[in-house]
Amino acid sequence: MDHFVGRGGWFPKGGGQVLAAGFAEVIQKHDGQIRSRVEVSRIALEGGRVAGVVLSTGETIAAPVVISNIDIKKTYRDLIGKENLPRATRLQVATWRMAPPVINAFFGIDHDVSNAPNSNHFVIPNWDRARNLHALATMKSDLLVGRRRSVHDWVSDYAANIPAYVQTSTRRDPSHGASAPQGSAAFEAQTMAPSNPRLWGLDPEEIADGRYRRNPRYQEIKEKVTDAMLARIEVAYPGASAKVEWAELATPMTQSRYTDSTAGNAMGLEPRIGQYGFGRPRSATVVPGLFVAGTSTAWGPGTQGAMVSGVKAAGAVLQRDLVRDIRAGRVMVDRSRLAPWNAGFDPLEATRMVGRDRSRSR
């Protein structure tokens, strides 16, 4: 965090989608298979150890090893089943607290950022709410918990006072033409939000069956929060808010819909005393053959932590220190199998159909 805030973070040339495109190509060109839009209903066990996975269709894929990258509480609770866990592990899973959800507002804006500073922005609209630790704790309770607050009171306070992280990928990588048309830019405002459905004008049943997306009260609250995120962008990029061509907000419900995460969280286990460092799970688990990766592991949340956790999980399976191998410059793929990426390569298009049955997607 000190490195990121103080000196800036690395950004992949071509945008974050190149990571998915690169990994997908390596897997498929080395005889691996990717299957998307497929739901795993449980992890099969035989004699107390992993035997594969059972899909929602009833199909069983046999495997002596499973690496789970999904929400860690759901890995143990839903895929393994509490009845198959030692008592100590059941108690630990029950006490785990997940991080608050992160919401993302995306905007396509007819605003030239070519001469703007290449920087991230942390926009804090009300410094009185952040003047000391007590004030921050109160703001967290008011805006991220909102217990005993009316929906109108909460959303008004949240829209006026929630800080946000603002960035534009177009400025980060001006050579990435797919980010936005010439003279325009893609912007993102990100912040934490409460997971409580009531504050979003919903009940849990609407979220479970997908009806929440058509709820007019939810859409009204979503619009107010989107406007608040646009206001944060206006602080960092004056004049941008008047030129919006496209906007979309990903709420905690969106996170749950696409990633099936507990209460829409995107950062895994909350980084707090008892859940950090040695308090977070390592790659191997108490279930023989089951390994875990992702933002809830010891390597922390965020893109870097999640990627390192994947390397660590693979190393645990192979019983090799893959991080040491990578740092030593060892190449683990056959480069002759990989096609060169030309100047017009579109990583989004390259990954759009990965793992799908193309005959059904036409």
Q: Is the domain of 254 the same as that of 106? A: yes
Range name among 96-100, 175-179, 212-216, 233-237 with the lowest pLDDT average? 175-179
Q: Is the pLDDT assigned to residue 83 strictly greater than 80?
A: yes
Query: How high is the pLDDT of residue 3?
Result: 64
Same domain for 217 and 108, yes or no, is yes
Interval 40-78: pLDDT, tens: 999 999 999 999 999 999 999 999 999 999 999 999 999
Asked if the structure places residue 353 within a domain, the reply is no
* Residue where one domain finishes, among candidates 241, 260, 279: 260
Residue type, 286: V
- What string of DSSP letters covers 60-103? EEE-S-EEE-S-HHHIIIIIIIGGGS-HHHHHHHHH--BPPBEE
Establish if 213 belongs to a structural domain.
Answer: yes
Query: Is the residue at 347 inside a domain?
Result: no
On whether both 86 and 161 belong to a single domain, the answer is no
Give the range of the structural domain holding residue 207, as residue numbers without chain letter: 102-260
**Domain identity same for 134 and 210:** yes
Note whether 256 and 117 are same-domain residues: yes
Q: What is the dihedral of CA 129, 135, 141, 146, to 10 degrees?
A: -40
pLDDT at 266: 86
| Identity of the residue numbered 130 | A
pLDDT confidence of residue 359:
41
Per-residue pLDDT tens digits for 92-105: 999 999 998 999 99
Q: Is residue 4 part of a domain?
A: no
Residue 350 lies in a domain: no
Does one domain contain both 167 and 240? yes
In sequence order, what are the residues at sequence separation of 6 or more whose Cβ sits closer than 8 angstroms to the Cβ of residue 278?
A: 298
Q: What is the pLDDT of residues 300-320, one digit of tens each?
A: 888 888 999 999 999 999 999
Whether residue 362 is predicted with pLDDT greater than 70 in this model: the reply is no
Compare 310 and 12 and report the one with higher pLDDT: 310
The mean pLDDT value for 258-276 works out to 87
Closest CA to 103 of 217, 194, 1: 194
Q: Given pLDDT bands bounded at 50, 70 and 90, which one contains residue 352? A: confident
Q: How would you class 290 by CB atoms within 10 Å of its CB: exposed for 0-12, middle for 13-18, buried for 19 or more? A: buried
CB of 110 within 8 A of CB of 183? yes
With a cut of 50, say whether residue 35 has pLDDT above it.
Answer: yes
pLDDT in tens, 192-213: 999 999 999 999 899 888 899 9
3-state secondary structure of 195: coil
Tokens coding 86: 């030692």
Q: What are the phi and psi torsion angles at 48 (to 5°)?
A: 85, 0
Final residue in a domain of this structure, among 196, 230, 260: 260
Query: Residues 195, 271: one domain?
Result: no
- When divided into structural domains, the chain yields a total of 2
Q: Indicate which CATH number applies to the domain containing 42.
A: 3.50.50.60
pLDDT at 358 over 60: no
- Distance (Å, rounded) from C-alpha 116 to C-alpha 240? 12
pLDDT at 360 over 50: no
Q: Percent of the chain, pLDDT > 90? A: 67
Q: Could you tell me if 117 and 212 lie in one domain? A: yes
Least confident of 41-50, 239-248, 293-302: 293-302
Is 79 within a domain? yes
pLDDT of residue 196: 92
pTM of the model: 0.88
Backbone torsion region of residue 60, taken as left when φ is above 0, otherwise alpha when ψ lies between -120 and 50, otherwise beta: beta
**What pLDDT does 1 receive?**
61
State the chain's mean pLDDT as an integer. Answer: 90
- Both 68 and 175 in one domain: the answer is no
Q: Verify that 169 and 291 share a domain, yes or no.
A: no
Same domain assignment for residues 202 and 294: no
The per-residue DSSP string of 203-268 comes to -HHHHHHTGGGG-HHHHHHHHHHHHHHHHHHHHHSTTGGGGEEEEEEE-HHHHHHHH--GGGBSS-
Instruction: Look at residue 35 and tell me if it is in a domain.
Output: yes
| Residue appearing with tokens 């089951």 | 290
Q: Please indicate, yes or no, if residue 78 is contained in any of the structural domains.
A: yes
How far apart, in whole angstroms, are the C-alpha atoms of residue 57 and residue 59?
6
Q: Which residues are CB-contacts of 148 (< 8 A; sequence separation ≥ 6)?
A: none
* pLDDT tier at 277, thresholds 50, 70, 90: confident
Say how far apart CA 62 and CA 43 lie, in whole Å: 10
Do both 119 and 239 map to the same domain? yes
Q: How far is CA 19 from CA 31, 168, 188, 326, in A?
A: 19, 18, 19, 16
Contact between residue 180 and residue 159 where contact means Cβ atoms under 8 Å apart:
no
DSSP string of 268-312, one letter each residue = -B--STTSSGGGS--SB-SSTTEEE-STTSTT-SHHHHHHHHHHH
